[in-house]
Amino acid sequence: MKTVKLLLLFFLMTPLVEAGDFSDQFWVGPFFWDTKKEVREKINNEKYLAVSVTKENNKDQTYWWMKGAGLVEAPQDFSFQIATDFSRLKKMTHAFSHVEWTPSKGILDLRVKLPMREVPIKFFIQILENENPRRIHYSVIEGSFKNSEGVILVHSAKHQLTEVNVIGRYRGELPVKPDFLIAFAVEGMMQHVATSLRSNIEAEWKSLRSAK
């Protein structure tokens, strides 16, 4: 596991190339949680967080995809409100040592905790609260993962629940081999951050309901 963490550290320190844009609507499914019955049942019945990091070779272009889905036991409005208040991130998970959110500019500065050092990442964030589903677009403009991009979809689900999907991508080959180790490490990080954020949203919703 230590080797995996060291490889992930090296990868995070290496800028990626060729930024894309959001015009091709790469966040439109169906995705594996839509097409695989067993995954959908686990999400619905077991609070399963489905995550996947995969490689796709498309003509002359290589894509790496980060995808995830899960349910939050809180309504869409509340979940979206908490999810877009990025100033809360440091309190919600120990993965970040520094969080600075400037909503007027849509700039989010993070420092990610990794073995032996902290890695800076700067995001440009677009919040689309009037869309259905509601969306959070992000792109990395400085630091590690530079030029990668993604979309967080916040759906209203049955029984006052919220479904959150994450679809992220970047182009090009990984600078570290074997690349399956990096994929494994990123999946683990996605699971950790998603679990922490979901737990905090649900705890705040339960606290709000009990106070009424």
- The length of the chain in residues reads 212
pLDDT digits (tens, 9 = 90+) for 18-57: 344 556 788 898 999 999 999 999 999 999 999 998 888 8
Reading phi first (left if > 0) and then psi (alpha if -120 to 50, else beta), residue 47 is in left
Place of tokens 């700039």: 107
Long-range contacts, 194-198 (Cβ 8 Å, 24+): 194/49, 194/51, 194/68, 194/70, 194/164, 194/166, 195/49, 196/92, 196/93, 196/94, 196/95, 197/83, 197/92, 197/93, 198/49, 198/70, 198/72, 198/164
pLDDT at 185: 73
pLDDT at 170: 78
Taking 70 as the pLDDT cut, the residues of the chain under it are: 1-23, 114-116, 144, 172-180, 182, 212
Walk me through the domains of the chain, giving residue ranges and CATH numbers.
2-211 (3.30.530.20)
**Per-residue DSSP letters for 79-110?**
HHHHHT-GGGHHHH-TTEEEEEEETTTTEEEE
The encoded tokens of residue 4 equal 């995996």
pLDDT at 206: 94
pLDDT at 7: 40
First to last CA, the chain: 45
pLDDT at 178: 64
134: helix, strand or coil: strand
| Entry pTM | 0.83
d(CA 94, CA 149): 23
pLDDT at 102: 95
